[in-house]
Chain A
Amino acid sequence: NAGVTQTPKFRVLKTGQSMTLLCAQDMNHEYMYWYRQDPGMGLRLIHYSVGEGTTAKGEVPDGYNVSRLKKQNFLLGLESAAPSQTSVYFCASSTHGVNTQYFGPGTRLTVL
């Protein structure tokens, strides 16, 4: 039982490049989330999904897109990376929005 996994663990991009972060969970959770964590700040919700085929905006969605084609996977895309998107990105899943969230190990992204 791997829980929540994230790919890749580290990535360096140049401004304007695109990339996709992959999150996978094997707990059959309905809800999945993408957060970013910046120094001195708490986690901020980017996008979330309440089930396969659904997505919704969180607190800081601009510059990101997501897709949930399969229940176990939640993809986060950056179409044109900017230095302001340098951050650590965490994926999480839960059975319901008000229940305990289980987090992945994070992806450290640097945009030059």
Chain B
Amino acid sequence: KQEVTQIPAALSVPEGENLVLNCSFTDSAIYNLQWFRQDPGKGLTSLLLIQSSQREQTSGRLNASLDKSSGRSTLYIAASQPGDSATYLCAAPYNNNDMRFGAGTRLTVKP
């Protein structure tokens, strides 16, 4: 069974700081791993999808890494901005049709 854990549950940083969000998963035989952003009262928006054959994926100030052997993924946010404040969730496949989500890390970037 796939279990996904995200630590910390909440994080507060000053604007401009670089930060790392952590995601761990129990079943390393994954096809890919996804990172999502959720704004309060909104649905999820896909940020990055890393295939199992990749080590990292980049989009703008975001960089996600994947280490299947250790069951870990990280989301690196460079030069954080107040607009980055949101909840970030990672998700790993349980099988080809099912995704398991972490509970998320609530990020606050203070001006």
* Per-position binary interface string of chain B over residues 17-54, scored 1 when its CB falls under 8 Å from any chain A CB and 0 otherwise: 00000000000000110101000011111100100000
Determine if A43 is an interface residue (Cβ-Cβ < 8 Å).
yes
Query: Could you tell me the dominant secondary structure of chain B's interface residues?
Result: strand
Chain B residue, CB-CB nearest to A57:
B98
State A70–B89 Cα separation when bound (angstroms).
Answer: 30
Determine if A41 is an interface residue (Cβ-Cβ < 8 Å).
yes
- Contact between chains at B46 and A100 (CB < 8 Å): yes
Q: Determine the chain B residues whose CB is within 8 A of the CB of A50 once the complex forms.
A: 97
- Contact between chains at B43 and A105 (CB < 8 Å): yes
Interface size on B, residues (CB 8 A): 26
State A12–B42 Cα separation when bound (angstroms).
Answer: 19
Q: Determine the chain A residues whose CB is within 8 A of the CB of B75 once the complex forms.
A: none
Interface residues on A, range: 20 to 34
State A104–B43 Cα separation when bound (angstroms).
Answer: 6
- Contact between chains at B101 and A98 (CB < 8 Å): no
* Per-position binary interface string of chain B over residues 82-103, scored 1 when its CB falls under 8 Å from any chain A CB and 0 otherwise: 0000000101010111111111
Determine if A34 is an interface residue (Cβ-Cβ < 8 Å).
no
Given A42-B4, A42-B89, A50-B97, residue A98 in contact with residue B32 (CB < 8 A): yes
- Contact between chains at B45 and A100 (CB < 8 Å): no
- Contact between chains at B98 and A106 (CB < 8 Å): no
* CB-CB contacts below 8 Å: A36-70 with B: 40-45, 48, 50, 56, 58-59
Chain B residue, CB-CB nearest to A4:
B43
